[in-house]
Structure 1
Amino acid sequence: MANHTQIAVIGGGLVGKATAVAAANAGFSTLHVAPEAPVDRRTSALMGPSVDYMTDAGLIGDPETLGVALTRIRIIDATKRLLRAPETVFSASEFGYRAFGWNFANARLGESFSQAGLVNKNLALRAATLKSARRVDGNWHLELDDGDTLTVDLLVGADGKGSSVRKAAGIAVKERKFDQAALVCDLELGRGLDGESVEFHYPNGPFTLVPAGGNRANLVWIDRLDTLEDARSEPGRFVSTLNEKSRHLFGAIEVASPNFVFPLSVLSVDVAGKDAAVLVGESAHAFPPIGAQGLNLGLRDVASLNACLKAANPGSYGWADAVARSYGVARRTDLMRTGAFVDGLFTSLLSPHIPAQALRSVGLWGLKTFPMLRKHAISFGMGK
């Protein structure tokens, strides 16, 4: 077959780029199919194990040159409920870490990932979109929107919540949408965060400030969509609301970038790999941006797929099916556990019911008080 490649990765986000590089580094002929896209102006807080993977895989160099170290995590219950949780602070030094992780601009990460791919002879790039995919006689037959067709052994979906690969592979998906949305933008604070990520927990979601260097912070504000739209409808009202939400703890706030609003949902799949097709990133899982789990989980997908590829025998019949099966098994526990954790954390914050609020409050008291519980929570949050 003249137009054949061993692996095709569909989707151009950070997880798609990382997957394409990993597949090529594992020695497979790889085609990365992704259309031209606008610059991703969001940021991502990546924990230590994710940063270690990116460094070991050659995706980035020294994280200090790309990101801002996260050395403290501060959680403030701002709900004004009868059962309120105590303010809780975690310091990286308490657990023997130099930093919990680093906060990166997605655009800079994307540039670094792309550079890593350019030097690999096994990796080819195609600025296109997948038009159709069907499996015939053990091969995936792909049609791209630029008119090209090709066959591949292993098909990787990194194409987001509406994944075409997931649909083609017949993998069942469950999705629950929320009334809440997330607003993101950059802020200039009167007083810098000095490496501390601060989460104010409100009844409709957290208001989180993440250090971005100097006095700059990245805001992730989760609230009802109508509340967010109303707050950002006028510049003066927006700044006033931001000062109120941050409890005036950081001096005068200035908006330093355009703001964007994203709808929120929880998405999960029954299995992340079957029939020589695998799903990574938001093709397989999505949830609200709480606890810095989204991209961290996606990079764990990439690391797991990389391990499966290194263990594969591409000269054997059905190797791609074997990779998909082993990947699906390998990812099952992590996807279920992390999804349940984030969903439980978010719904307990939103819940108007006293028992749920009490359980959340008791949990945060435990995290504040018991060293072993603190250590376990941090280890879980870092993906260990």
Structure 2
Amino acid sequence: MRKQVEIFISGAGVAGLTLALLLADKNISVGLVDPVKALPLPQTPHGTRTAAIQNRFLPLLERSGALEKIKDLCAALKTIRIIDPQGQNFTDKLEALFGAEDIRNDKLSLNIPISFLRAALYDTALNNEFINFFENTRTKNIKFGDVSNIVTLENGNEIEASLCVSADGVNSVFRKEANIGIKSKNYSQTAMTCILSHTKPHENISTEFHYPGGPFTLVPLPGHTSSLVWLEKTELSKKYLSYNKDNIEKLLQQKSQGILGQLSLTSSVDSLPLRSFIAKDFTGNRLILLAESAHCLSPIGAQGLNMSLKDIEIFLEVLSKNIYLGQSIGSRQMLANYNDERRRDTNFRAAAVHGLNQIVSNNLPTSKAVRRFSLNVLKSTPRLKEKVMNIGMGDDQIMK
């Protein structure tokens, strides 16, 4: 039996679920497939990964209906504190603050536990009449057509859709089926994540230490807790990940320089090899790529999930324009508009993140001098500081 929907989404992670709910809000029928069924929110563990969602994209999550369910589990990020420790040729540490007041706002972002966000989105979508779930299976292949695509799932179900959306991650089946290549970089770094409790209040300040292996970043959560994102050279990370709890806590205490008092692990320490890629095209035949099927960047600059939400924002804009002009969902013009808009912005941000990673993740005297010069210029030039912060917060006017 073949099911017909207007838009089929492969991947029910945060991006896929958010898009499904926002499309359903427009009375558009959606098919959604994912091999891993989400747990109900009350049964969902905290996990070690969080995302600092920028102000620009919070309305998308609010419109989905999911954010209200987990607001008490999130924390506002009001200031970013960057610390460049003392080192060769530099006898003092340099500290720079980037506050919400610098961009005339009350906060910079909201730090959200990803596991809770996905569970809240899933709970919200589960009984939506416009969303058809295909759970515990995955996309097997796709047959591209002139007016629609036909998707075959591993459980044998077939779905016909005017447009398909690939939100199925770095190993996207849709991207491979459409023969869309990627441009990738391997940084020989590993990202380690965990949740920490601490004796001193964080005061809604995210603190980022610049170490030779990469940034060590503490991000506020409710109460006396914070999430940690720590980039390190892969060989060293393997050593650290073999430590027992006492030894890893001692190391984290040293790295944090006591800025949050005494630290205690409240989770495991998870890790992920750091790689970066961008798809060579963000569209195919009645197909769009978004989130990590289209791009995957270093966590430096906190662009990851924010870029995925920007994909959704732009997709909804071009879809609305397409419908207003009376064109079919998935028309060539619609796909071209999305592809042009998202590739341009993504390439710009990927280049910026790559350059930042190269400057931050080493202790060479030249790089350290560049870091310190740049921070000092921003500290002493309010208008430039505001402009740079706004670009980092998703402002794309520089690309126009």
Could you say whether these structures have the same fold, taking a TM-score greater than 0.5 normalized by the shorter chain as the test? yes
Deviation at 1:119, TM superposition (A): 5.0
Contact 1:71 1:98 (8 Å CA) reproduced: yes
**Matched position secondary structure for 2:133:** strand
Q: Does 1:239 align with 2:246?
A: no
Return the offset for 1:3.
2.4
Residue number in structure 2 paired with 1:74: 81
The answer on 1:348 being equivalent to 2:363 is no
Give 1:109's aligned residue.
Answer: 117
Distance in 2, matches of 1:264 and 1:326, equals: 31
Q: 2:148 aligns with which of 139, 151, 160?
A: 139
Q: What is the alpha-carbon distance in structure 2 between the residues aligned to residue 122 and residue 32 of structure 1?
A: 11
TM-score norm. by structure 1 comes to 0.93
The 1:94–1:60 alpha-carbon spacing in structure 2 relative to 1, beyond 3 Å, is same
Partner of 1:248: 258
Cα distance between partner residues in 1 of 2:168 and 2:196: 30
Quote the residue 1:31 is aligned against.
31
**Alignment partner of 1:221 is 2:221:** no
Shift of 1:306: 1.1
Relative to structure 1, the CA distance from residue 282 to residue 155 in structure 2 (aligned partners, 3 Å threshold; closer, same or farther) is same
User: Any conservation in 1 of the 2:84–2:209 contact (CA below 8 Å)?
Assistant: yes
The superposition leaves residues 33-55 of structure 1 with CA deviations (integer Å, 9 ceiling, x where unpaired) of 11225767221111111113322
Partners of 1:317 and 1:242 in 2: CA distance: 54
1:26–1:306 contact (8 Å) kept in structure 2: no
CA displacement at 1:270 relative to structure 2: 2.3
| In 2, Cα distance between equivalents of 1:253 and 1:317 | 55
CA separation in 2, counterparts of 1:79 and 1:166?
45
Deviation at 1:225, TM superposition (A): 2.2
1:313·1:319 contact (CA, 8 Å) conserved in 2?
A: no
Q: Distance in 2 between matches of 1:295 and 1:317?
A: 29
CA distance in 2, matches of 1:44, 1:316: 36
State, as a whole percentage, how many aligned pairs show the same letter. Answer: 28
Residue type at the aligned position of 2:10: I
RMSD: 2.3
- What SS is found at the alignment partner of 1:346? helix
Distance 1:18 1:318, change over 3 A: closer
Shift, 1:263, TM fit: 0.7
SS at match of 1:177: strand
- How far apart are the structure 1 equivalents of 2:171 and 2:288? 15
Q: Deviations over 1:184-210 (max 9, x none)?
A: 111111212120100001011001111
User: Aligned pair count?
Assistant: 384
Name the CA distance, whole Å, in 2 between partners of 1:336 and 1:59: 30
Between 308-317 and 281-290, the greater mean CA deviation after superposition: 308-317
CA–CA distance in 2 between the matches of 1:62 and 1:101? 18
| Alignment-mate amino acid for residue 196 of structure 2 | L
Task: Tell me the residue number matched to 2:192.
Answer: 183
Q: Which one of the candidate residues 192, 210, 226 is aligned to 2:219?
A: 210
Aligned mate of 2:290, from 270, 273, 280: 280
- AA aligned opposite 2:350: G
The 1:349–1:316 alpha-carbon spacing in structure 2 relative to 1, beyond 3 Å, is closer
SS in 2 for 1:8: strand
Number of the residue aligned with 1:95: 103
Do the aligned partners of residues 312 and 58 (structure 1) sit closer, same or farther apart at CA in structure 2, a change above 3 Å counting? Answer: farther
Query: After superposition, what is the alpha-carbon deviation per residue over 1:204-256, rounded to whole angstroms, capped at 9, x for unaligned?
Result: 10011111121111111110223223223222221111011011222221111
Distance 1:117 1:203, change over 3 A: same
The amino acid across from 2:57 in the alignment is S
Kept after mapping to 2: 8 A contact 1:85/1:360? no
TM-score, normalized by length of structure 2? 0.89
Partner in structure 2 of residue 47 of structure 1: 54
Q: Paired residue for 1:308?
A: 318
Aligned counterpart for 1:331 among listed residues 339, 342, 346: 342
Contact 1:130 1:143 in 2 (8 A): yes
Residue aligned with 1:376, SS? helix
CA distance 1:81–1:116, change in 2 (3 Å)? farther
Structure 2 counterpart SS, 1:383: coil
Q: Is the 8 A contact 1:85 1:364 kept in 2?
A: no
Counterpart contact for 1:5–1:30, Cα < 8 Å: yes
